[in-house]
């Protein structure tokens, strides 16, 4: 069961969370404002209501997780989102990260390989306020060729390598933020498409994501 009541207490906890994120080095005011605006506890089972604003990842359905707020803020900041940009997100999960991108004014295309998680989001009434999010059920390794090219691509699962098709769906000048690594720890990368076949790579901190798996799951 989930609860959809946003009390003063929840709002207060959210402000404290934002202060924690500032202390950890998040500086993008628009990202911090998005996190201030979104009731993260709506995205979790009400069993987690008391802890929803701790800077931690939590389990959602299908052995998946809602990313830690710091991770969401970090990836959102690296993506340098501008209003109206077309963004592909791989790994919808709870749709919390997609909501942050929507609050930043992007046109969000988000894809999830787990049918149950995709279906849950269709039932999740809070998301109706974001007419700028489109939900897809499919394999993120394929991207969304019909809607490509994208200004930005954000991968929120651990990729063993940089998926070729996702790189190919970036506009020239477009950027992808993706955690890459085969073990427990991944390195956050930002890839910029300089020309049709020239890509620049920047390396950032280490993180630990659930794996990006191939194919779809019923």
Chain residues in the site for ligand SAH (CB under 6 A): 64-67, 90-91, 93-94, 96-97, 111-114, 117, 139-141, 156-157, 210, 212-213
Residue 195: Cβ-neighbour burial (10 angstroms; 0-12, 13-18, 19+): exposed
**Least distance CB 36 / ligand SAH (angstroms):** 17
DSSP, collapsed to helix, strand or coil, labels residue 153 as: strand
Asked whether 141 and 165 are in contact (CB, 8 A), the reply is: yes
Q: Measured between alpha carbons, how far is 8 from 14 in angstroms, rounded to an integer?
A: 10
Max Cα separation, the chain? 51
What the block records as the tokens of 24 is 């950890």
Taking the least distance from each CB to ligand SAH, the nearer of 85 and 112 is: 112
Q: Alpha helix (H) ranges present in the chain?
A: 8-23, 29-37, 69-78, 96-103, 115-123, 164-168
Catalytic position from the list 7, 46, 67, 94:
67
Rounded Cα distance, 123 and 133, in Å: 14
Q: How far is the CB of 113 from ligand SAH (least distance, A)?
A: 4
Nearer to ligand SAH, 145 or 173 (CB): 145
Structure token pair of residue 12: 């207060």
When the beta carbons of 176 and 195 are compared against ligand SAH, the nearer one is 176
Helices within 24-142 (DSSP H only): 29-37, 69-78, 96-103, 115-123
Torsion angle of C-alpha atoms 93, 96, 97, 100, degrees rounded to 10 = 160
76 and 28 in contact (C-beta within 8 Å)? yes
- Please report how close the Cβ of residue 210 comes to ligand SAH at its closest, in angstroms: 5
Q: Is 67 a catalytic residue?
A: yes
State which residue, 191 or 207, has the beta carbon closest to ligand SAH: 207
Nearer to ligand SAH among residue 3 and residue 216 (C-beta): 216
Catalytically annotated residues: 67
């Amino acid at each position: 069961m989930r609860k959809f009541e946003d009390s003063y207490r929840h709002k207060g906890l959210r402000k404290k969370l934002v202060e924690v994120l500032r202390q950890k080095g998040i500086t993008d005011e628009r990202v911090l404002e998005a996190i201030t605006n979104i009731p993260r506890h709506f995205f979790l089972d009400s069993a987690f209501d008391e802890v929803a604003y701790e800077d931690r990842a939590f389990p959602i359905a299908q052995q998946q997780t809602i990313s830690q707020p710091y991770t969401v803020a970090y990836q959102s900041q690296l993506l340098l989102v501008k209003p109206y940009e077309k963004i592909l997100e791989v790994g919808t999960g709870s749709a919390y990260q997609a909501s942050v991108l929507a609050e930043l004014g992007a046109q969000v295309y988000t894809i999830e390989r787990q049918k149950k998680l995709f279906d849950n989001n269709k039932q999740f009434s809070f998301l109706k306020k974001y007419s700028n999010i489109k939900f897809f059920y499919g394999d993120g390794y394929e991207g969304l060729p019909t809607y490509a090219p994208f200004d930005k691509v954000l991968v929120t699962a651990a990729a063993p390598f940089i998926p070729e098709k996702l790189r190919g769906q970036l506009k020239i000048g477009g950027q992808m933020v993706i955690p890459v690594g085969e073990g427990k720890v991944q390195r956050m990368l930002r890839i910029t498409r300089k020309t049709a076949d020239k890509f620049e790579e920047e390396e950032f901190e280490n993180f630990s994501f659930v794996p990006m798996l191939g194919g779809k799951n019923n």
